[in-house]
Amino acid sequence: MTRKVPNEWWIEEPANTLMNVLNKPLDSARFVGGCVRNTILKLPISDIDVATKHRPEEVIGLLEDSGINVKATGMSHGTVTAFLSGVRFEITTLRRDIKTDGRHAVVQYTDCWQEDAKRRDFTINTLLMDQFGKIIDPLNCKQDILDGRVIFVGCPSQRIQEDALRILRFYRFNAYFGCGSVEPKSLEACKKNASLVSSLSGERIREELFKILTSKNVCDTLRLMQDGWILEKLLSADVRLAELKALLTLEREKADPVLRLVTAFGIKPEILAFKLKLPNKVSAQLAFLNRTEITATADSKSIKLLFYKHGVRQTLDLLMVKSALDEAIVNIYKYALEISRDWKHPIFPITGSDIVSLGVSPGLAIGKTLTATESWWIANNFEPNHLSCINWARSFIENEKEKSGNG
């Protein structure tokens, strides 16, 4: 999770404590990757990555001896994870790749900072920082960060074939850090190797795609991905840029990747859920946004019914997406926003116990009576009180008895 950090977070706790443990001898560990890049750009950082000359077993021993919680999360490629004061640190031994198969790599440990940097994905992620805040630039790439250039380290196609996820990361990093035109050799390599993204798991695709969807440059990025055949390989669909741009003008708060996803791609929810391995909650949200119909003639009563059944937030999300897809719905969305400011969720005045007190035996008849009474109460703008609902329910029960007798 992205978090605000002190301006000099590397000398504050808990980073300082961790590095004091690992830097035995001095300069055995350095911060690396995204936390260094974001520090240079004065952006918030998320999890902190550390590179070290220590072997994984040595790292575990040092941390355990200091009472720091550590787990062997990726021993096959030299990574352990430390948890200190609520902060997650991924600590990886310096290494070089011996063999890769598109995702997994056979690595050999090294003591060379530059050799380790050469195996990283993009030049903006190669910089290091010591525990005192000194930036080390082993491949002379700092200017790429400052200029907003996202460039693969070494041969772009080779980096991609080592891990096809780097194609999606290339577009994601351009969405967040890129300035000006996209680096052509890297872009061409992504297009040339586009078919490789089909081999990625739905979970890995979802994680990167959702980050792209929440970026400020989402429209330009998705257009680039479409031009490079990436979206065709991922989702077998083109992006609806006009509709997505319309949604961006209507958004009430921070970007929601699910709302942007359903707007940008006219794909059935069950297909998206399968391709992206969506959690059940997200799948249900997509299904609701797709199946619920809204007409341009929706009035106050129908909006309040949606608020009552689905809640204010979910209803406004629905209307926002429908407005992006159909301009005729925009005024309904704006009207719903006005109604929502004074909306207080009404409580249906009666319960099953009230129906039992009217002489109805426990069973299906109670539910039938409650449902009918609630529908009447809703139709009357949620205004009938407890006594009115009881009286209506009594009349309904009597009518049902008469129907049964006549039958």
> Quick one: pLDDT at residue 2?
47
Q: Helix or strand or coil: residue 363?
A: coil
Q: Judge whether 264 and 213 are in contact, CB under 8 Å.
A: yes
Cβ atoms < 10 Å from Cβ of 294: 22
Q: Is 321 exposed, middle or buried (0-12, 13-18, 19+ CB in 10 A)?
A: buried
Q: Would you state the structure tokens that stand for residue 2, as one six-digit string?
A: 């992205």
- The DSSP bridge partners found for residue 170 are none
Asked whether the bond before 349 is cis by omega within 30 degrees of 0, the reply is: no
Q: Would you state the structure tokens that stand for residue 119, as one six-digit string?
A: 């195996």
Phi, psi of 32 (to 5 degrees): -150, 155
pTM over 0.85: yes
Nearest residue to 120 via CA among 132, 143, 137, 134: 137
- The DSSP bridge partners found for residue 52 are 29, 93
The residues spanned by each domain of the chain are 1-147, 292-342, 352-406
> Quick one: pLDDT at residue 25?
93
- The DSSP bridge partners found for residue 300 are none
- The DSSP bridge partners found for residue 100 are 105
> Quick one: pLDDT at residue 1?
38
Nearest residue to 13 via CA among 91, 85, 88: 85
Nearest residue to 148 via CA among 31, 230, 3, 37: 37
Nearest residue to 49 via CA among 76, 88, 97: 88
pLDDT tens-digit profile, the chain (407 residues): 344 455 789 999 999 999 999 999 999 999 999 999 999 999 999 889 999 999 999 999 999 999 999 999 999 889 999 999 999 999 999 998 777 665 566 789 999 999 999 999 999 999 999 999 999 999 999 999 999 999 999 999 999 999 999 999 999 999 999 998 999 999 999 999 999 999 999 999 999 999 999 999 999 999 999 999 999 999 999 999 999 999 999 998 889 999 999 999 999 999 999 999 999 999 999 999 988 888 878 899 999 999 999 999 999 999 999 999 999 999 999 999 999 999 999 999 999 999 999 999 888 899 999 999 999 999 999 999 999 999 999 999 999 988 877 54
| The CATH number fitting domain 1-147, selected from 3.30.460.10, 2.60.40.1180, 3.40.50.2300, 3.30.70.141 | 3.30.460.10
